[in-house]
Chains A and B, each alone.
Chain A
Amino acid sequence: MFQNIGEIALLFWRTVLALPLIWRQRAKVLDQFHEIGNASLLMVAVLSFFLGGVIALQTGPVLAERGLHSAIGGLVGISMAKELAPIMMSILIAGRIGSAFAAEIGSMRVYQEIDALRTMNINPVHFLVMPRLVAIAIGLPMLVTFAILVGWLGGATVAQVTTQIDVPFESFFENMKNVVGISEVLHGVFKSFCFAWIIGVVSCHQGLTTRGGPRGIGRSVTKAVVNSIVLIVLFDYVLTRLLLH
Chain B
Amino acid sequence: MNDNGTTQHGVSVQVRGIRRSYGAQEVLKGIDLDVRPGEIFVIMGASGSGKSVLLRHIIGLEAPDEGEILINGESIHSVDVASKYRMALVFQSGALLNSLTVGDNVGLYLSEHRLKSPDEIRKIVLDKLEVVGLKGTEDKLPSELSGGMRKRAAIARALVIEPELILYDEPTSELDPVSSVVIGEEIYKLNKRIGVTSLVVSHDRDLAFGIADRIAVMHEGEIVALGSTDEVKRSHNPIIRKFIHADFKRQPKA
Contacts and interface: CB of A to CB of B under 8 A. Distances in A.
B98 interface: yes
B112 A119 contact: no
A17 to B, nearest CB: 15
A120 B95 contact: no
Interface in B150-178: 154, 161
A13 interface: no
A113 B88 contact: no
Chain B: interface size category? 20 to 34
Given A108-B97, A121-B82, A121-B83, A116 B91 contact: yes
A112 B93 contact: yes
A22 to B, nearest CB: 15
B59 interface: yes
A24 B56 CA distance: 30
Interface in A223-242: none
A119 B96 contact: no
Contacts of A111: 93, 95, 98
A164 to B, nearest CB: 52
A118 interface: yes
Nearest to A114: B95
B33 interface: no
B98 A113 contact: yes
A115 interface: yes
A109 to B, nearest CB: 11
Interface string B106-126: 001100111000000000000
Contacts of B59: 119
Nearest to A104: B99
A169 interface: no
Contact of B91 (A107, A112, A122, A127): A112
A111 to B, nearest CB: 7
B88 A115 contact: no
Interface string A106-136: 0110011101111111100001000000000
A132 B37 CA distance: 41
A121 B95 contact: no
Contacts of A121: 82-83, 113
B87 A119 contact: yes
User: Most chain-B CB neighbours within 10 Å: which of A108, A119, A127?
Assistant: A119
Contact of B95 (A104, A113, A127): A113
B43 interface: no
A115 B61 contact: yes
A119 B88 contact: yes
Contact of B88 (A104, A108, A117, A120): A120
A118 to B, nearest CB: 6
Given A119-B61, A119-B87, A119-B88, A112 B95 contact: yes
Nearest to A122: B112
Nearest to B97: A113
Interface of A: 24, 104, 107-108, 111-113, 115-122, 127
Given A113-B96, A115-B95, 9 more contacts: A104-B99, A113-B95, A115-B56, A116-B96, A116-B154, A119-B89, A121-B113, A122-B108, A127-B112
CB-CB nearest 4 A-B residue pairs: A116-B95, A112-B95, A119-B89, A120-B109
